[in-house]
Amino acid sequence: MEADLTKEHSNLTRLYKKLERDYRALTLMHEQTERLRDANEAAKDQSNFYTRLLLENTPCTIFMLDLQMRFVMGSAHLASFLGYRDMREMVDRPFTELFSAMMPPEWVESADGRCRQTIDERRQVSTAERVSLKSGENLVLQVSMTPAEGKDGVCRGVVVVMNDITELVRAREEAQRASTAKSDFLANMSHEMRTPMNAIIGMTAIAKTSSDMERKIYCLTKIEDASSHLLGVINDILDMSKIEANRFELSPVVFNFEKMLQKVVNVVNFRVEEKQQILTVRIDKNIPGFLVGDDQRLAQVITNLLSNAVKFTPERGEVRLDTGLIEKREKLCTVEVAVSDTGIGISPDQQRLLFTSFSQADSGITRKFGGTGLGLAISKRIVEMMGGTIWVTSTPGQGSTFTFRFDARVADDQGLSQAKKLNRKDLRVLVVDDAPEVREYFADILQGFGIACDAAASGEEALSLVRARGSYGMYFVDWDLPGMSGIELAGLLSGDYDQDAMVVMISSAEWSSIEQDARAAGVKCFLPKPLFPSAVFDCISACLGAEEPLAEQKEEQCLPAQFAGHRVLLAEDVEINREIVIALLEPTGLDIDCAVNGAEALRMFSAASDKYSMIFMDVQMPEMDGYEAARRIRALDVPRAGAVPIIAMTANVFREDVERCLAAGMNDHIGKPLNFEEVFAKLSKYLGHAGQFGIYI
Amino acid sequence: MNSVVAYTSELDDAKEAAAQLAAQIREKLELRKHSAGILFCDADMDGAAVTAELAKLLGSEVLGMTTLATLDADGHHEAAAVLTMLTADDCIFSASVSSSLPGADAQAAIIEAYRAGVPAEIAPGQRPGLLMAFCPYGLPFSGDLYPVALSKAAGDVPIIGGVASDDYDYERARVFLSGRSYNDAMVLLGIWGAVSPVFSIRHVTSRFAERIRRITESEGNIVRRVGDETFVQYLEGFGLNTDVSDPLLAFTCYPMMLTSDTEDGETPLMRHICALNREDGSGAFFGDVPVGALANICLINKDDLLRACRESMRALLEAAAVRQEYVPSTILCISCCGRAIILGAHAAGEGRVLSEMLPPGISLAGAYCLGEICPTFYKDGKAVNRFHNCSITFCMF
């Protein structure tokens, strides 16, 4: 009995301890659970706060609908979009009711259906759709509908996110258009480069197999044309790539504005003649003679505009180049240049794309007229860099006018802008031309020179004037006059009326084609059209034995020089390039030694530095490049190491390439492909003054 | 192999308890060539005395450990002991005990214990089909050391076992081996021969406190920083009280789930907090907590626990059912003490589930531990012995 009681006591004690253990555990767990619940509530409050902040501030349209398609909650942006002040006003309202005020009924119906589908199929539905709002605004919406499933897997409705991607789509379409334009451009470039290459390769093959010298010369002429064209294409591409890389820069120099225009006209004139077009140039006499700017780039723009005008104007059409001084403020002036034509014209839609890279007004134009489509984009960039703008006015079928303005500094007067005055107040000039603008322009030019001028529109009128007013000191007679021809008039003037008459024939025709008849008719001189004031001045001066043309004109004349007795070192790794240089320089009498890389050039010069008057240095060569070779030559301790002119002769033609050559110790730079005149100019410059280039002494 | 589970509520009289247990064994089981007994008993029982007596009465080695409560075919028992008697002609049972583990090299001691348990008749290189490991509580190292050291010694031999428990007084947890009781050594039972075990394990990971942070500083089982906070601050961020005298009980129903990307794939791992250091803000766990693992606190309730128990038992039986070449006789269940504590008034729930689901002819014995050792299976089917918390594990063989 006692044992049983003891055992019972023991068991009860044990159970009591276990109950105590459980009570302790439960108390602790209860306390923790309470705390955790409170913390969870706080976390939920915070989470709700964050959710509210997100919904109030997100620029997205986001909302949730319950299973009956009634509004549960959403972003403030949605409320604002639908015209509600507060989200609470929208709670429990049907989706269709909420959206019907703003959205078209077919969209509301479709979206409602897709929401239901999302819930039924338990899968996300995403669409991008164009929607015309009732306000008339057109949007592209990206709509994503997601079933609102909890952790328990129960679906409680649908979450809808609507993003306005109108701008994004627009940008993408724009990018796609640009990409297409680039692809077209590449295809076009391929065509533009292969076409002249085809001519070069084809004509070379023909020339090789032909024994007829005339045919060979014909082929070589075509090869020259095609090569020049190819070089133009490559230059355009390089310019554009520099523009795209933001590395396009101007190199301002002092230049003669009229001379620059003359050069430009010379470039396009042969095409004008081919198409028998009339090219008129008018230079505003108020434009300062000498400006500071990048004349090469300015010429590039005008050449581009003139070339386009000639290209897109039919045969016997007209092209005009007009210039005008818009504003002059002390040393700064704004000049306007306009190129007009009577060509095919450009529609307003096409005009919008004209100055865009890789675009031509019509891709069919490329096929018909050729061209890279980069010219106007490059021109626009150049003009903008000159502080100007470029624009076009055009009427399809009637022609176009491309106009640009640029700012330039007026060059300091260092004797350059010497006024062209002829001290011949007694001189009277008669201009005979059927084109009133030519007569007017002539009168303007002569007035600027202080010379009195009469004008006649025909041979008959000219003769009447002579009869009425007596003979003139000079006659400028257009060759192509209606009725009585210019030749006939010249014959009459120098025969019956005035045997000493100084008759100058003006014409856009090639002088050689009319010279014989003209000389026979007593014509003393020829002045080509289009007319340039300085050409008129020079013509009058020459005819009357007056002042010599300006000195700077003489300087520009480049006659082949003779350099016999000089030895030149040519460092060039490509054999054909060496051959070209040797052949080009053959007439000069120069002796030429060749090195096939910079290291060999260095060795040759070290061994006989006195022997060489000059070094032509290619840049990219194996073993030792031209930069290194130039540096090492300059560092040599041999006679003339610092003095010998080193001229880079390289296809690296960017400004930084030139600067790198100069930094390496070279004196000058000639770009490849070689321009014969440029090579001679450098020879004249450095060999003509041999020994004076001692900058490294 | 054959087995029988005996039960007694006699905790005070070791001889009487052993006599009762032995009598039940003798009554239901004919002992074969090789036998061994496994005793799970309340901490009030003198396990050393009972195992000594049982060894004499049954002529076999008996090993075991104290436990918060026991399980058998009749369910959950507080203040009781269950003895599982294994007997076979085609298996060898070999028990061993380690030296004191808090010594210089615990891992070496465990490996040596395994080697000491290899029977003389076993050919060199041969390995047991199953290892049972009963470990002492309160040692100053991570529970991961047990499976890691044993796997080093025995290769990929599967291990079932756990850490001995008591009534959360932390002083009376012991392991035994045939008359000896230990609070600093591990006892091992290796089963050699025709044994083919299957395993099942379940955690409770259905609900979380949702404050997922990454472990940024830890060393073994000591966690110093979680995200930019100390571990204590991290816990306090949940609102939990860290100023508690019994962190184990206070955080029992908030175990931490770790998710880390390992070479074996992403495997969640449960860890119970066993101590907090409010001075340096660190926390100690029963097992390792690797840097880089994502930490979150689990919320556990009765329904989740019982569901996990049922799912784990079902998975075990399904796994065994497909292995027709081997007829199992025994289920050993090692559950977490925390589960029993959380179940509280429903502590018998797990036992009831097991009773309902136990197939006829299979004996079942179980204990509640402060850390469970059981293989985890990865996606590629590879099993790795690991140390767990808050899990219910089964081994059927």
B271-297 residue pLDDT tens: 999 999 999 999 999 999 989 888 888
**Location of structure tokens 């009229």:** A258
A440 lies in the same domain as A360: no
Task: Give the separation between CA A674 and CA A670, rounded to whole angstroms.
Answer: 7
Interface ipTM > 0.90: no
Residues 12-31 of A with CB under 8 A from B: 14-15, 17-18, 21-22, 24-26, 28-29, 31
Structure confidence at residue B104 (pLDDT): 73
A440 lies in the same domain as A507: yes
Concatenated DSSP letters for B333-391? Answer: EEEEHHHHHHHGGGTTHHHHHHHHHPPTT-EEEEEEESSEEEEEE-TTS-EEEEEESS-
| Residue of A7, A25, A35 with shortest CB distance to B241 | A35
Helix (H) or strand (E) holding B64: strand B61-66
Is residue A144 helix, strand or coil? strand
Concatenated DSSP letters for A458-490? Answer: SHHHHHHHHHHH---SEEEEESS-SSS-HHHHH
On whether residue A560 sits in a domain, the answer given is no
Name, in order, each residue with C-beta under 8 angstroms of A377's C-beta and a sequence gap of 6 or more: A240, A243, A355, A356, A357, A358, A359
Nearest CA in chain B to A23: B344
A403 lies in the same domain as A270: yes
| Residue of B12, B211, B249 with shortest CB distance to A25 | B249
Using a CB-CB cut-off of 8 Å, the residues of chain A touching B253 are: 29, 32-33
* Closest CA–CA distance from residue B209 to any residue of chain A (Å): 8
Instruction: Output the six-digit token pair for A469.
Output: 């007013």
Q: Could you give the angle at the alpha carbon of A652 between the alpha carbons of A649 and A654, nearest 5°?
A: 120
On whether residue A337 sits in a domain, the answer given is yes
Nearest CA in chain B to A9: B12
Using a CB-CB cut-off of 8 Å, the residues of chain A touching B240 are: 32, 35-36, 39
* Closest CA–CA distance from residue B155 to any residue of chain A (Å): 39
Using a CB-CB cut-off of 8 Å, the residues of chain B touching A28 are: 244, 246, 249-250, 252
- For B283, phi and psi rounded to 5 degrees? -135, 145
- For B197, phi and psi rounded to 5 degrees? -85, 150
| Residue of B79, B169, B254 with shortest CB distance to A32 | B254
B127-149 residue pLDDT tens: 999 999 999 998 889 999 999 99
A149 lies in the same domain as A270: no
| A374: nearest Cα among A206, A191, A234, A533 | A234
Hey, is the C-beta of B303 within 8 angstroms of any chain A C-beta?
no
Contact A29 B249 (CB under 8 A): yes
On whether residue A423 sits in a domain, the answer given is no
Answer for the pair B127, B155: CB distance below 8 angstroms, yes or no.
yes
Instruction: Output the six-digit token pair for A597.
Output: 């890389």
| B313: nearest Cα among B95, B127, B141, B73 | B73
Using a CB-CB cut-off of 8 Å, the residues of chain B touching A33 are: 253
pLDDT (tens place) for every residue of chain B, 397 residues total: 999 999 999 999 999 999 999 999 999 999 999 999 999 999 999 999 999 999 999 999 999 999 999 999 999 999 999 999 999 999 999 999 999 998 779 999 999 999 999 999 888 889 999 999 999 998 889 999 999 999 999 998 999 999 999 999 889 999 999 999 999 999 999 999 999 999 999 987 667 777 788 999 999 999 999 988 999 999 998 888 999 988 888 888 888 888 876 655 556 788 999 999 999 999 999 999 989 888 888 888 888 899 999 999 999 999 999 887 889 999 999 999 999 988 888 889 999 999 999 999 999 999 999 999 999 876 666 788 999 999 999 999 9
Task: Give the separation between CA A371 and CA A366, rounded to whole angstroms.
Answer: 6
CATH assignment of the domain containing A545: 3.40.50.2300
A272 lies in the same domain as A402: yes
- Give the number of C-alpha atoms closer than 13 A to the C-alpha of residue B219, restricted to the C-beta side: 2
Q: Which residue range forms the structural domain that includes residue A32? A: 1-54
On whether residue A452 sits in a domain, the answer given is yes
Task: Give the separation between CA A25 and CA A16, rounded to whole angstroms.
Answer: 14
| Ramachandran class of A647: left when φ > 0, alpha when ψ lies in -120 to 50, beta otherwise | beta
A72 lies in the same domain as A28: no
A271 lies in the same domain as A383: yes
Using a CB-CB cut-off of 8 Å, the residues of chain A touching B12 are: 7, 10
| B2: nearest Cα among B121, B59, B74, B84 | B84
A149 lies in the same domain as A205: no
Domain boundary among A190, A210, A244: A244
Helix (H) or strand (E) holding B108: helix B106-116
Answer for the pair B242, B276: CB distance below 8 angstroms, yes or no.
yes
| A601: nearest Cα among A584, A622, A587 | A622
Q: Which whole-number Å values give the CA distances from A436 to A153, A433, A456, A643, B127, in the listed order?
A: 92, 7, 9, 59, 119
Nearest CA in chain A to B68: A18
Q: Which whole-number Å values give the CA distances from B13 to A473, B71, B176, in the listed order?
A: 155, 21, 17
Amino acid at A121: E
pLDDT means over runs of 10, chain A (697 residues): 85 90 88 83 83 89 93 92 87 92 92 94 91 90 92 89 91 85 72 77 85 86 82 80 77 88 84 86 90 89 91 90 92 94 86 68 47 78 92 90 94 58 74 89 84 90 89 89 90 78 84 83 85 85 58 40 84 88 86 94 94 93 93 93 93 82 93 82 76 26
Hey, is the C-beta of B253 within 8 angstroms of any chain A C-beta?
yes
| A301: nearest Cα among A408, A150, A190, A226 | A408
Using a CB-CB cut-off of 8 Å, the residues of chain B touching A46 are: none
Domain boundary among A509, A526, A554: A554
Using a CB-CB cut-off of 8 Å, the residues of chain B touching A27 are: none
Contact A29 B246 (CB under 8 A): no
Answer for the pair B273, B289: CB distance below 8 angstroms, yes or no.
no
Name, in order, each residue with C-beta under 8 angstroms of A601's C-beta and a sequence gap of 6 or more: A569, A571, A595, A615, A617, A629, A633
Task: Give the separation between CA A78 and CA A86, rounded to whole angstroms.
Answer: 10
Q: Helix/strand/coil (H, E, C) string of A328-378? A: EECCEEEEEEEEEECCCCCCHHHHHHCCCCCCCCCHHHHHHHCCCCCHHHH
| Residue of B167, B240, B251 with shortest CB distance to A18 | B167
A406 lies in the same domain as A315: yes
Helix (H) or strand (E) holding A658: helix A655-663
Buried residues in B29-53 as b, exposed as e (16+ CB within 10 A): bebeebbbbbbbbbbbbbbbbbbbb
**For chain A, how many structural domains are there in total?**
6
| Residue of A26, A32, A42 with shortest CB distance to B344 | A26
Nearest CA in chain A to B169: A21
* Closest CA–CA distance from residue B109 to any residue of chain A (Å): 34
Answer for the pair A141, A129: CB distance below 8 angstroms, yes or no.
yes
* Closest CA–CA distance from residue A40 to any residue of chain B (Å): 7
A442 lies in the same domain as A472: yes
On whether residue A192 sits in a domain, the answer given is yes
On whether residue A562 sits in a domain, the answer given is no
Amino acid at A175: A
| B386: nearest Cα among B154, B158, B117 | B158
Beta bridge partners of A147: A158
Q: Is the peptide bond before A673 cis (omega within 30 degrees of 0)?
A: yes
Structure confidence at residue B368 (pLDDT): 96
Beta-strand ranges (E) seen in A433-573 are 452-456, 474-478, 503-507, 523-528, 567-571
Contact A32 B250 (CB under 8 A): yes
Domain boundary among A116, A134, A164: A164
Q: Is the peptide bond before A252 cis (omega within 30 degrees of 0)?
A: no
Residues 61-120 of B with CB under 8 A from A: 78-79
Using a CB-CB cut-off of 8 Å, the residues of chain A touching B252 are: 25, 28-29
Hey, is the C-beta of A39 within 8 angstroms of any chain B C-beta?
yes
Amino acid at A286: N
| Residue of A21, A25, A35 with shortest CB distance to B239 | A35
* Closest CA–CA distance from residue B245 to any residue of chain A (Å): 10
Answer for the pair A90, A84: CB distance below 8 angstroms, yes or no.
yes
On whether residue A433 sits in a domain, the answer given is yes
DSSP for residue A242: H
Task: Give the separation between CA A189 and CA A182, rounded to whole angstroms.
Answer: 10
Contact A28 B344 (CB under 8 A): no
Contact A21 B78 (CB under 8 A): no
* Closest CA–CA distance from residue A7 to any residue of chain B (Å): 8
On whether residue A415 sits in a domain, the answer given is no
* Closest CA–CA distance from residue B251 to any residue of chain A (Å): 7
Answer for the pair A525, A504: CB distance below 8 angstroms, yes or no.
yes
| Residue of B78, B79, B246 with shortest CB distance to A28 | B246
Contact A32 B241 (CB under 8 A): yes
pTM (2 d.p.): 0.52
A262 lies in the same domain as A383: yes
* Closest CA–CA distance from residue B253 to any residue of chain A (Å): 7
Angle between helices A676-687 and A575-585 (to 10 degrees): 70
A279 lies in the same domain as A141: no
Nearest CA in chain B to A29: B250
Q: Diameter of chain A by CA atoms?
A: 175
| B69: nearest Cα among B338, B379, B375, B388 | B338
Nearest CA in chain A to B338: A25
Task: Give the separation between CA B133 and CA B112, rounded to whole angstroms.
Answer: 14
CATH assignment of the domain containing A189: 1.10.287.130
Q: How many CB atoms lie within 10 A of CB B384?
A: 15
